[in-house]
Amino acid sequence: MVDAVRMKKPAVHKHTPAGGAPTAPHTADEAQARAAAAHTDEPRIDIPQVTDLLLGTWAETRREAREMIKNPDFWRIEGQPMPEHRDRVLTQLKLLVEAGGSRRAFPKEFGGLEDNGANIAGFEELVLADPSLQIKSGVQWGLFGSAVYQLGTQKHWDAWLSDIIDLSLPGAFAMTETGHGSDVAAIGTTATYDPQTEEFVIHTPFRGAWKDYLGNAALHGKAATVFAQLITGGVNYGVHCFFVPIRDDEGAFLPGVGGEDDGYKGGLNGIDNGRLHFDQVRVPRFNLLDRYGQVAADGSYTSDIPSPGRRFFTMLGALVQGRVSLDGASTTGAALALDIAITYANQRRQFDSGAGTPEVVLLDYGKHQRRLLPRLATVYAQAFAHDVFLRKFDGVFSGRADTPTEREDLETLAAALKPLSTWNALDTIQECREACGGSGFLAENRLVGLHADLDVYVTFEGDNNILLQLVGKRLLSDYAKQFKGKDAATVARIAARQTAGDLFHGAGLRRLGQAVGDLGSTARSVERGLREDQQHELLAGRVQQMIADIAGRLRPASKLSPADAAGLFNANQAELIEAARAHGELLQWEAFTDALATVQDAGTRHVLTWLRDLFGLSLIEKHLAWYIINGRLSTQRAAAVSSYIDRLCTRLRPHAQDLVDAWGFEPEHVRAPIALGAEQERQDEARAYFAQLAASGQAPTPEKKIKKS
Amino acid sequence: MVDAVRMKKPAVHKHTPAGGAPTAPHTADEAQARAAAAHTDEPRIDIPQVTDLLLGTWAETRREAREMIKNPDFWRIEGQPMPEHRDRVLTQLKLLVEAGGSRRAFPKEFGGLEDNGANIAGFEELVLADPSLQIKSGVQWGLFGSAVYQLGTQKHWDAWLSDIIDLSLPGAFAMTETGHGSDVAAIGTTATYDPQTEEFVIHTPFRGAWKDYLGNAALHGKAATVFAQLITGGVNYGVHCFFVPIRDDEGAFLPGVGGEDDGYKGGLNGIDNGRLHFDQVRVPRFNLLDRYGQVAADGSYTSDIPSPGRRFFTMLGALVQGRVSLDGASTTGAALALDIAITYANQRRQFDSGAGTPEVVLLDYGKHQRRLLPRLATVYAQAFAHDVFLRKFDGVFSGRADTPTEREDLETLAAALKPLSTWNALDTIQECREACGGSGFLAENRLVGLHADLDVYVTFEGDNNILLQLVGKRLLSDYAKQFKGKDAATVARIAARQTAGDLFHGAGLRRLGQAVGDLGSTARSVERGLREDQQHELLAGRVQQMIADIAGRLRPASKLSPADAAGLFNANQAELIEAARAHGELLQWEAFTDALATVQDAGTRHVLTWLRDLFGLSLIEKHLAWYIINGRLSTQRAAAVSSYIDRLCTRLRPHAQDLVDAWGFEPEHVRAPIALGAEQERQDEARAYFAQLAASGQAPTPEKKIKKS
């Protein structure tokens, strides 16, 4: 099925023989490359098997979603003006409802499927149609709907969930304020309980407390889940969420509610982001979404979670799914960009090699391989890590594995992976755009639009640097736990013995196989690169040592004044974030390696092992100075890392098209003309023209040849 | 003058005392910081002096251009639909003509000023108004007009220059084809001379030979300077340029001419990029722009430059000014982004430090400093390098220093600097956008638009990787020259003795002051960082050794088959490009250092020296593994580089606002509300609200405090 549709793309670089004119000059070296690849010793991947692997646990839902969005009504129209784009995306949301796409996460009594993993998987694929569609869906069902469902109780579900699911009640998720994004606990909006009327008074005390950047706020939202400081009996019980109607049926703001359009943004202009403010707006006591904190008619406050801090983080944690879906959608977006750029690089030619041969296809250039192949390896790693992440999410939210520890681990995983995948998407899409030159800058070839739309993924749903800092703090606290109450000698003994697996019990690190000293004692392994266990040792050892080093530097903090302690932490902030990033990279590497272990087909395993090695070695190359300075790699071995990466690129080059084809994108998902045959046609036509000219005897003589004669 | 207007910006973080309410809580730490900075021992920059330094040799023209674009008619309207944007930019070009902005480079007999340096300087500043304006101006006068002027002769000037200068003859520069961008020599369009009619027949033989991505081609161009293979008497004399009318006065294509609109692009949508193709279009022999090659009535070809290759590169070299202006405009664009992000970072607060203090301004975070300050240092380096570059350009094009060597050096400089500054602009603008969070994603705050518009700068006017490869080849050939005709023993002796200054005579490298062995023998200099001469030694030594290493690896090429030799070169391509990048970085560092030497004011020199050190050390940190592996830095010294950068960031932090203020951008150039007081107002209002609430005794009690009691 997938293969049949893909045949619309030129087949020359696929594993099947070329369908084009076999005598065209450009097929000669390709035929040779294919012949080499087809040699019995040369492994090939089994494309459909790899597609299954990449689609992961919820492959079926992903396939359904991809089938649905083959309908052109779901496609982004490049350059469409904002007002029309917003209308279009609203219509697409309605189509999604009709197709049953909005109900997967919700309870069965409201027509839902209670399938959290499938829900996220399905939404992620929408990025291929239009990222605005993905994110506006996320606003409606993943944030607004999810707030009602996760933070509310049965009475709220009965009141609103059906209308939310079928989009008759579009809503905004009003958490962020102009003045506070990352620091949600400090928002300024207040919800003061009035026991006289049994109402909450929602109020915006100053401009910085306006709710801001909210999808559905500028135009379509009829209600909002508003986060505000809950004040009752003169006490501030911290941030809670309230259901607040904002517009009447004609779309006019209700009394006391006001707002503004955020206007044009860098991307996602199909979403009507805007601001909201409230002037003493009264909502019934009923409208407090009271799963984690309740206010009785008399104004008394109760909660199952006595700690205000833990209660706050529990509420935020209930909304982790946004981060999950950004991790997946960024990965899919980056993979699409690579599909476009690598397909083009296999067809586009520029410059002859100086050896009298035909012009060279871009992907045969060493630099072009270096630009695209390590990024392809990274996107594979992200896909496998995302499936691990999504399974953990599903475990927690299905209730199958819903413990405080699992929730905490899930949040750490989200905070570690979302930054890496969203940043990498921007980096990869940009490199792909540049690798396609001028044609990459045309909107029709998708890359610039993908970059513009995915740009904000790195700062919303948790700013990437803030998320990584959270991961870093978790790593530090896990590290500190083991030393608790132990004397200095014991600490030293533990430190000497410890492995990352011991340290970070909850965060996915496996036990290290061998001590650092074992690493690379023979010249032979320089030749062979770094083995799997050596890569793991290096990557895990780096996280461990960075955390231990930072912990050591922070140790004096307990004896300092609060201000000096804060200063000491601040001096280590950049490195703590770097350590968290290293931790995320390790998780991705481990996920790739675990996925490899499940592959049965020998050829597939062989090629994917090269790809995993390319990912691992690229990470090590990126941090090479650290490995040398910290005695983890000798300078001799370090010097070999780059040449090993070069060799891996050479090995993987003949497989590059297979590896992007394995993502299973069909022409309706790709849509970029340069990756759907336009470039190949132009190359074929040009070559045919010159061949015919030469055959005709009419070709002009090059000036150089006259000079020689 | 500049200062008077800048006062519209909140003055709290400037060197003058704050004007705001002195009792507002947020001024306390600022007052302290200012007090520290005002201490007699603490150097400050003299802002107007630094502005002069940054504006460089053609400061007067830059000031005039900035004054002109204070007129809102020149400003980009964020989110304006493409058709209206295109109209607007055309109108802006007319305003520019009225203001005399289009004639600076042209001959006096046509009303010009024959001032090449000022011409480029003036155009570069237009990026502050709208990059589409900058680039469309570049198309009309820097490319189309310049082709007529630089490649044509008096008769062509008489025919067309006046109309080009006053925009009554808008034109396209038709060099690039869909099939050939970087490899101009291989374009497919033909211009075949017909001696019967004394005409050239311009023809597009296949789709890949359509001219593409041409500004002015979709709508406004009436003529084009078309690059085509000149064929006469059955001989192809290579690429030459022809003046070809394309549209009549009603805007309809002339017979035989066709085209297409390139449609929406990733940015620069104020420019009507499009495609052109020609079906046997006849133009008079007159229309060959024949400065470098002439065809007589009988069809015989003559040229002062016998070598076809050298003739081709001479023609291309005459059009170097595009690269010059991109280097400057990228620098200005990146500086604007830093002005916005650093001003915001000095006003925006998020999270308290955990020490009971007020919320912290973003720029006080260690990570935020690390994100923005090294980029600020880089933009300073770029500005100084650009002035060197522009002076060299002016020397060559004014005829004052127009020798083949100077021209070759100018092109190498262009190929080295344009890639670095255009890439750095994207990197810097993106980091600034992220550093401003959600507000950075709003179009009104400029950053996303700047990124979108400047995106294509990295691949047009010479793809950055291709340009760097040219630089690499030049470095290799300079390297090889010194060994010519010498035996192996002599070569070894030279290699042992050589310094970068000896090697690369034409490319701006100065003589190295000391041998590598001298470097850092005392622990004391670890403490003090790396001195100027040590930084230079490291940066220059790296270029030198990389080139020597690559040359060594390429040596066997002469004994290989052409195909194997090409393969060997290809295997070294990525590293050659890296060596060229290192060369460009060195040139920037040297320009910064030379600029420092001209500074008289002690405080200014002190602070700018820190900034230069930050630039140098950041480069060294980026390539740290290379320095260790190649024995240039001990692991101990290498480990100290990062902490020295941290210390420099801490030292420079109080000067960050001064250093962006010194760019001299006025509110009409900045235009981003978050950098013009909107954020500071919100912060002031919020703090006043909480202060008043506290004073009123009505503030709710935090839940935590009740629990404790």
Distance of alpha carbon A8 from alpha carbon A236, whole angstroms: 62
Report residue B508's pLDDT band, with 50, 70 and 90 as the boundaries: very low
Report residue B428's pLDDT band, with 50, 70 and 90 as the boundaries: very high
Which DSSP symbol is given to B190? E
| Across A623-644, average pLDDT | 94
For chain B, the structural domain boundaries read 83-317, 321-661
**3-class DSSP state of B343:** helix
Distance of alpha carbon A90 from alpha carbon A221, whole angstroms: 11
Distance of alpha carbon B117 from alpha carbon B395, whole angstroms: 9
What pLDDT, on the 0 to 100 scale, is given for residue A489?
A: 66
| Across A484-503, average pLDDT | 57
| Across B436-442, average pLDDT | 98
Which of B20 and B424 is assigned the larger pLDDT? B424
Amino acid found at A279: D
Q: What is the CATH number of domain B83-317?
A: 2.40.110.10
Is any Cβ of chain A less than 8 angstroms from the Cβ of B263? Answer: yes
Both tokens assigned to A508: 């996915």
Is any Cβ of chain B less than 8 angstroms from the Cβ of A196? Answer: no
- Find out whether B582 and B539 touch, Cβ atoms under 8 Å: yes
Q: Name B294's bridge partners.
A: B302
Nearest to B465 by CA among A352, A437, A438: A437
The distance from CA B550 to its chain's CA centroid, rounded to whole angstroms, is 28
Percent of chain A past pLDDT 70, that is, above it, reads: 88
What pLDDT, on the 0 to 100 scale, is given for residue A500?
A: 40
Distance of alpha carbon B261 from alpha carbon B241, whole angstroms: 23
- Find out whether A198 and A145 touch, Cβ atoms under 8 Å: no
Distance of alpha carbon A583 from alpha carbon A603, whole angstroms: 30
Is any Cβ of chain B less than 8 angstroms from the Cβ of A514? Answer: no
In chain A, what residues touch B682 (CB-CB under 8 Å)? Answer: 178-179, 206-208
Both tokens assigned to B296: 């007589």
Q: What residues of chain A, 483 to 512, have a C-beta less than 8 Å from chain B?
A: none
Residue B334's φ and ψ, nearest 5 degrees, are -65, -35
Nearest to B578 by CA among B615, B545, B530: B545
In chain A, what residues touch B700 (CB-CB under 8 Å)? Answer: 229, 231, 234-236
Rounded to 5°, angle at Cα A578 from A574 and A584:
145
Task: Reduce the secondary structure of B633-671 to three states and give it as a string.
Answer: CCHHHHHHHHHHHHHHHHHHHHHHHHHHHCCCCCHHHHC
8 Å CB contact of A706 and B456: no
In chain A, what residues touch B465 (CB-CB under 8 Å)? Answer: 367
Which DSSP symbol is given to A152? S
**pLDDT by residue (tens digit) across B465-496?**
999 999 999 999 998 887 777 766 666 665 55
pLDDT over 60 at B512, yes or no = no
Both tokens assigned to B583: 């060369």
What pLDDT, on the 0 to 100 scale, is given for residue A528?
A: 59
Q: What residues of chain B, 636 to 665, have a C-beta less than 8 Å from chain A?
A: 638-639, 646
**3-class DSSP state of B234:** coil
Q: What residues of chain B, 344 to 373, have a C-beta less than 8 Å from chain A?
A: 350-351, 353-357, 359, 364-367, 370
Q: What is the CATH number of domain B321-661?
A: 1.20.140.10
pLDDT over 80 at B321, yes or no = yes
Which DSSP symbol is given to B150? I
Distance of alpha carbon B303 from alpha carbon B288, whole angstroms: 13
Beta strand pairing status for B211-214 and B281-284? unpaired
Looking at chain A, how many residues does it have? 709
**pLDDT by residue (tens digit) across A232-248?**
999 999 999 999 999 99
- Find out whether B685 and A207 touch, Cβ atoms under 8 Å: yes
Distance of alpha carbon B361 from alpha carbon B657, whole angstroms: 13
Nearest CB partner across the interface for B354, out of A430, A464, A566: A566
What pLDDT, on the 0 to 100 scale, is given for residue B65?
A: 97
Both tokens assigned to B46: 């003299």
**Mean pLDDT (chain A, rounded):** 90
Nearest to A317 by CA among A389, A396, A249: A396
DSSP labels, A385-407? HHHHHHHHHHHHHHSTT--HHHH
Is any Cβ of chain B less than 8 angstroms from the Cβ of A207? Answer: yes
Report residue B137's pLDDT band, with 50, 70 and 90 as the boundaries: very high
Is this complex's ipTM strictly greater than 0.85?
yes
Helix (H) or strand (E) holding B240: strand B235-245
- Find out whether A503 and A482 touch, Cβ atoms under 8 Å: yes
In chain A, what residues touch B208 (CB-CB under 8 Å)? Answer: 682-683, 685-686
Nearest to A535 by CA among A589, A578, A584: A589
| Across A145-162, average pLDDT | 98
Interface test with B, best of A26, A203, A367 (most B CBs within 10 A): A367
Which of A297 and B19 is assigned the larger pLDDT? A297
Distance of alpha carbon B445 from alpha carbon B248, whole angstroms: 41
Region of poorest pLDDT, from A148-162, A483-497, B221-235: A483-497
| Across A656-676, average pLDDT | 98
In chain B, what residues touch A573 (CB-CB under 8 Å)? Answer: 365-367
Interface test with A, best of B641, B682, B704, B708 (most A CBs within 10 A): B682
**pLDDT by residue (tens digit) across B588-617?**
999 999 999 999 999 999 999 999 999 999
Distance of alpha carbon B584 from alpha carbon B378, whole angstroms: 12
What pLDDT, on the 0 to 100 scale, is given for residue A496?
A: 52
Q: What residues of chain A, 574 to 603, have a C-beta less than 8 Å from chain B?
A: 574, 577
Helix (H) or strand (E) holding A52: helix A47-55
Nearest CB partner across the interface for A452, out of B236, B439, B452: B452
8 Å CB contact of A442 and B209: no
How far is CA B644 from each of CA A85, A397, A508, A565, rounded to the nearest angstrom?
A: 50, 47, 34, 21
